[in-house]
Amino acid sequence: MRDARQTVESQASAFELVLTGDSTAVAAARDRIMDFLEEQGVGDEEAIDILVALQEAFANAVLHGCQNDPSKIIRCSVDVDGEAVTIVIKDPGEGFDTSAATDVSDDGINLTNHGRGIFLMRGLMDEVSYSHGGSEIRLKKLRRAGQ
């Protein structure tokens, strides 16, 4: 087991990027991340889920965390290893009540005026978690065997 763990760790790749807090920066950042994931051998099916969740997370950071202000900064890190793709996005905003943003009925209907993107991200990713009062999101997608 020790040898397998060392192999996974040696195959890990990561990078970080910083973008301005306005919508004009999102497409280039998103595309760079998706290119990186392709370089790391992430499969098409996982990449589509990640693309949609990433777009939602960036949109929330720009609109809610930065109020579309280019003088504010969004930080993003991407880690890829043999088990998962993990993306962390941090904005300078005050955050939000993460428990109230996704109230849904038993049949999955969104009961709030906001939070549809959060609900979508949770459906596409294997793990979605928040820290720093909601101003940092961690998206995790488990990789399929052989990727």
Q: Which tokens is 107 given?
A: 């049949």
The owner of tokens 């793709």 is 85
List per-residue pLDDT tens for the chain, 147 residues long: 444 433 334 457 999 999 999 999 999 999 999 999 999 999 999 999 999 999 999 999 999 999 999 999 999 999 999 999 999 999 999 887 766 655 555 555 444 455 578 889 999 999 999 999 889 999 999 998 755
Return the number of other C-beta atoms located less than 10 Å from residue 124's C-beta: 19
Q: Are 128 and 118 in contact (CB under 8 A)?
A: yes
Q: Which tokens is 30 given?
A: 């998103």
> 43 Cβ partners below 8 Å, 6+ apart?
143, 144, 147
Q: Which tokens is 72 given?
A: 């504010």
What is the C-alpha to C-alpha distance for residues 43 and 147, in angstroms, rounded to an integer?
Answer: 7
What is the C-alpha to C-alpha distance for residues 147 and 145, in angstroms, rounded to an integer?
Answer: 6
For the chain, strand residue ranges (E) read 13-21, 69-80, 84-90, 127-131, 136-142
Q: What is the pLDDT of residue 100?
A: 62
pTM for the structure as a whole: 0.83
What does residue 99 show for φ and ψ, rounded to 5 degrees?
A: -75, -30
14-142: which CATH topology? Heat Shock Protein 90 (3.30.565)
